[in-house]
Each structure stands twice: as structure tokens, then as C-alpha cells.
Structure 1
């Protein structure tokens, strides 16, 4: 099987994906929850995205978390480290009382990062679930993220939407003067800074051209990014290393996850006019306030919220 390798041409950049025999570990379903006798006892009615009517015999107990599908969606399969929008209800397995729930209001689904949700069973329940599905989850005490003595909990989760796991656009020709980028099967980039002086102005190139919605100045975008300092060649910030994509306001750089909560506007404003599914490289000078050094960014545009 042919294995792709990185090639530097005229000090430019050729973005390539390390495919060959590699597979994406984030798409592996081995750790996803399976159906079981406890989750199969949960009866659910109602439309997807609306508050469900839920019943189950009490007390209900399990020492192993389980997942049963109530409504089978026909969308893409959810991966680890992907942002998804869900509606959910959680019930006490002993009494049947509601412990917590989302609002189920229009356009107010909860945005959660699969893999780092504070209820561990939610992460493995959402893995390999299709968008558009409703699932019933029997949560073992050890997977509840709280006091294990609380007992089993029952959750009903609607997977309303999922943003792209990585840029899926068409690879574009390289541009001279940009770093070399190599992509892991997950989509995480490795960036090699070329020789030459650090950037003193903002420049960008499109590595992959997406075909989704267009980013505007007032957009809030779901992105994965890595920035490498031009001088010291170290990673400055990376959502890939943090374990989930970021939600960023393009015009202000306001970030949901970045340290300091603001990204350089030189970088975020370079996203304007790009389409969802694109991957771009952005060279930025050092921030005037000293918060970011001159850097090379690789940004995957995964959605607009």
C-alpha cells in the first residue's frame, strides 16, 4: 500500500496526509458502549430534539455502563475529539427522578466535546453514534463523574448535530515560503518552520479548499488549530493537544478554550471568506501585546455556529 511522505519544494509547502496503512484512532469503536440488559429496560417516546417521555423500572442497577439505540440516525458517525450538539435528560436509577436536563429549546442544544465531557459515560455513549440518533444510557456509578455511592443513573441523549472532525476539503497546490505540514490520520498537523526571517505581516495559503458555508466577519467558528513559534520552533497553542476543537468569534478572537481566552485577530480574521471544510496556513507577526510570538498556524475550519 502506497504511503504518502512530506516533500519540500522550493521552500514551499506540500500538505500531505499520512495515510497508507494507518487508521484514525479517534474513529475506533472498541471503547464505545454496547447495548445491555439495563439500557434495554429504558422506554422512551417523543420526537428527536424534544423533551422525551421516559420510563424504566426502579430501582435499576448496573456495574457496567450500557447504551441502547432508541432512534437510529442516518448522519455521520461521531468520533472522539469531535464537537457535537446534544439534548439530554439524566434520571436517578433508584427513584426515577430527574437529576438534570438540557432546555430542549429551539437552537439551544448543548455543545460538548466528545472525549472530555465531565460525565465519562457520555463520552463512550456518544462514540460511534450516528447523528440524528436518540440513545438510552445506563450509567454505572464508576462512570458518572461523581460520587460512586450515588448509584446507577439513566440518561437519554439526542445527537442533534456534529461538526466536522477534521478538514475534508480538496488539497491545493503549495505556495513558496510557507512551512511544511504533515497530517496524522486524526488530522493533527505536524509543522516544520522553513529558514528565513519571522513574518512581519499576515499571509495565508489554502491547504485544503472546503465546500461548506462561508466564514464571515461576525461568525463564530468551530476550529482545530496548531500554532508553532517561528523562532523557537515550539508549539505555542494547539487544540489537538488539548483534546477538543475550539469555538472562536472571528472578529474579536474570543476563544472558548485558549489560554487567555483571546486568539490573535491577525489569525482569526484570515478565516473570513474561507469555507467550512477548508484547512489554511496563516503566518502571523508577533502580537503587539506580546501574548503570541511570530507564528505559523494551521487551522481546520469545521463549522459555523
Structure 2
């Protein structure tokens, strides 16, 4: 059952009630399923409400007044007025839980690499960083071997993720996370291999199998360089733990 914070994968068709005109949907030739975070305002209210509380595999009929669709301004692009009611048929292809983790036994790594412990209550990782310098280049290790399809560039991945900086946490049993699924409110959905995330993630994830857990140690030039987000120093080496929950 889909709850707020989960990620939904849906296909849908839609029409304008008044005219019967079909709107662009995800069953058209070449269209992909839509992926969105449930209950976080990431899509039209009509689609959000269609999924909330439903099981994967359900088909839901939604009659959406303007307030649940494009509002009183409508959509000039789709020729929808601010008074139009829309009708959606929504197929819920998959629901990924907000705390989901990949299954399987985690491998042990060298003591020269961070130790990773997953927290099942919130889907994030606890990272213990060795008291030594970070590797100079991109280091990618598979912690759990996935058995799903190989990830291809341009696919939308659904990820649990946890990231910390190496130097501030060096020698500590628990690194402070500057980026995580927990802080985001649930798993991340992102198009991979097209520069939508840091280069280190693109390189680490394309070619992996769905269901894998990946440890990536990413030098600054493949991370945030001299322009990091809040909470991260410039030119920091980044450690990321990434669970590949699904690829669409």
C-alpha cells in the first residue's frame, strides 16, 4: 500500500470531461512510466491522490476537478481551461517503500575502506571512516550483488542514498551525513547517466544491476568540486552508499 514518502511508478491515460479530448499520457508510443514521490507534491494532486493508499497492480479511475489538476489557470499547452474536469485511468505499476533496502547479504570490505551498516528503520547508512587518507581516484565497490537488469544511461533510478565527506569523519565510527534519503523524506528518483547528479554517481551506477548496493568514494572533481552544497566543504572527497531499488 502506498504511503506518503514512498515512490510510485504509474502509467495513465487522461481525457477532458467536457470535450472528450485525449491528453498526453504514459501509454503513448515512446512514453515511459511516470515516477514520483507520493504525498510530496511532486505531481498533479489527482495522480498523487490516485496512488495514496493503493496497492501496486491496482487500476484507479480518477475524476479530477480543476483544483486537483491544473487549477483555475488551466494549461495552455494541453488546451485545458481553468474550469475543465479531467478523467484519469491510472495503473499503479510499482510502489517502492520509503524505507526499502535491497535484499541480500552484504560483503565485507578491506579495512582501508569505510565500514557500512544499514539502518532498516529509515533506509540510510551508518558510515565508519578509517583513519587514513581517502583514495585518490573514483573507487566503486559492490556491497550487495543485485540480480536485476543492468542499469542503462537515461533510465530513471529509484535510490536509497547516504553521503558523507571523508576528511571531517576520518577515524570516526559514525560520519555525519550531508545528504540522505532520510533528509529527503524518502527514496530519490533520478534520470541517470545524463548529468542530473554528480559525475561520480553517473559513473558508479550505469552498468550496475538493479538490486545492488554500491559504495562509491568520489574525488572532488567528480563530486561537487569548489561549489559544494550546504554542509560540505569545498573540494571534499565524498562517500556515497546507494541502494538501486528499481530502474524504469
Question: Do Structure 1 and Structure 2 share a fold, with TM-score over 0.5?
Answer: yes
> Given the two structures, how large is their TM-score scaled by the length of structure 2?
0.68
In structure 2, the CA distance between the partners of 1:235 and 1:88, relative to structure 1 (3 Å rule), is farther
Structure 2: runs of 5 or more not aligned: 75-81, 169-174, 229-235
In structure 2, the CA distance between the partners of 1:186 and 1:128, relative to structure 1 (3 Å rule), is farther
* Residue 63 (structure 1) aligns with: none
CA RMSD of superposed structures (Å): 3.5
* Residue 195 (structure 2) aligns with: 254
* Residue 287 (structure 1) aligns with: 221
* Residue 34 (structure 2) aligns with: 111
Equivalent position SS for 1:297: strand
**What is the rounded CA distance, in whole Å, between the counterparts of 2:246 and 2:139 in structure 1?**
22
**What is the rounded CA distance, in whole Å, between the counterparts of 1:180 and 1:238 in structure 2?**
14
Note if 1:270 corresponds to 2:201.
no
Q: CA deviation at 1:180?
A: 3.3
Aligned partner of 1:300 among 217, 235, 243: 243
* Residue 180 (structure 1) aligns with: 116
Q: CA deviation at 1:193?
A: 3.8
**What is the rounded CA distance, in whole Å, between the counterparts of 1:107 and 1:174 in structure 2?**
42
* Residue 36 (structure 1) aligns with: none
Contact 1:81 1:245 in 2 (8 A): no
Equivalent position SS for 1:270: helix
Contact 1:86 1:112 in 2 (8 A): no
* Residue 63 (structure 2) aligns with: 138
Contact 2:26 2:34 in 1 (8 A): no
Contact 1:209 1:279 in 2 (8 A): yes
> How many corresponding residue pairs?
218
* Residue 135 (structure 2) aligns with: 199
Aligned partner of 1:125 among 43, 46, 50: 50
Equivalent position SS for 1:281: strand
Larger radius of gyration: 1
**What is the rounded CA distance, in whole Å, between the counterparts of 2:22 and 2:42 in structure 1?**
17
**What is the rounded CA distance, in whole Å, between the counterparts of 1:101 and 1:221 in structure 2?**
19
Q: CA deviation at 1:179?
A: 3.6
* Residue 87 (structure 2) aligns with: 155
Contact 1:102 1:109 in 2 (8 A): no
Contact 1:270 1:282 in 2 (8 A): yes
Q: CA deviation at 1:298?
A: 0.9
Q: CA deviation at 1:282?
A: 1.3
Contact 1:132 1:158 in 2 (8 A): no
Aligned partner of 1:241 among 177, 183, 203: 183
Q: CA deviation at 1:296?
A: 0.9
Contact 2:217 2:239 in 1 (8 A): yes
Note if 1:169 corresponds to 2:103.
yes
> Given the two structures, how large is their TM-score scaled by the length of structure 1?
0.57
**What is the rounded CA distance, in whole Å, between the counterparts of 2:90 and 2:151 in structure 1?**
27
In structure 2, the CA distance between the partners of 1:155 and 1:242, relative to structure 1 (3 Å rule), is farther
